Amino acid sequence: MAVDIDTKISILSMRDTGPAPEAALVRDIIKRGLIATPVLLGASYAIWGINGAYSCAYALGIVFANFALAAALVAYTARISYALMMGSMLFGYIFRLALVAVAVFVVRQSSWVELLPLGLTIILAHLGLLFWELRYVSLSLAYPGLKPKKSKQKKSEQPTESATQ
């Protein structure tokens, strides 16, 4: 007896239980951001003084938090379903923009805030860190997140070579 069952499954009802590449990317972005932080703080201090340095530090905090929140949202919701991931990305965009706006509006009249270094750091850090990260992104099925470091690659190749000898 043939049973007519519609076997089409929507991709939106599926989920991804594998490792989250976004988390690795953002961890790496924040690590690089921490390397660049002293340079940016020093430049802001040299141009706008101590208030500029405080504003720059605050802006860097906003940028790091924005990246971390975006990655956390994607990584967490992808384990539940792609539909939820879609919702979290689209509404998360508005939510994160609102958070950035609130974070800036809350402090805009404080005595230690210089708006120009604050705004410039938000844009430059966001774009700069993304461009910096692009160099280390791997687009291969073997390494869907970051490229493996050369030293790690050599170590993993060594046992294979000795095994063939």
In eight-state DSSP terms, residue 114 is -
Which segments of the chain does DSSP mark as H helices, in order?
A: 21-48, 50-78, 82-107, 115-134, 150-164
- Least Å from the CB of residue 127 to other proteins: 5
Q: Would you say 41 or 59 has its CB closer to other proteins?
A: 59
Q: Would you say 1 or 53 has its CB closer to other proteins?
A: 53
**Residues 6+ positions from 116 with CB-CB distance below 8 Å:** 48
Nearest alpha carbon to residue 24 among 162, 154, 145: 145
Tokens of 116: 């120009």
Applying CB under 8 A, the residues found at the interface with other proteins are 11-12, 14, 16, 18-22, 25, 67, 70-71, 74, 78, 82, 86, 89-90, 93-94, 96-97, 100-101, 104, 108, 115-116, 118-120, 122-123, 126-127, 130, 133-134, 137, 139-141, 144-145
Q: Give the integer Cα–Cα distance in Å for 51 and 41.
A: 10
Q: Would you say 10 or 162 has its CB closer to other proteins?
A: 10
Q: Would you say 14 or 158 has its CB closer to other proteins?
A: 14
- Least Å from the CB of residue 159 to other proteins: 25
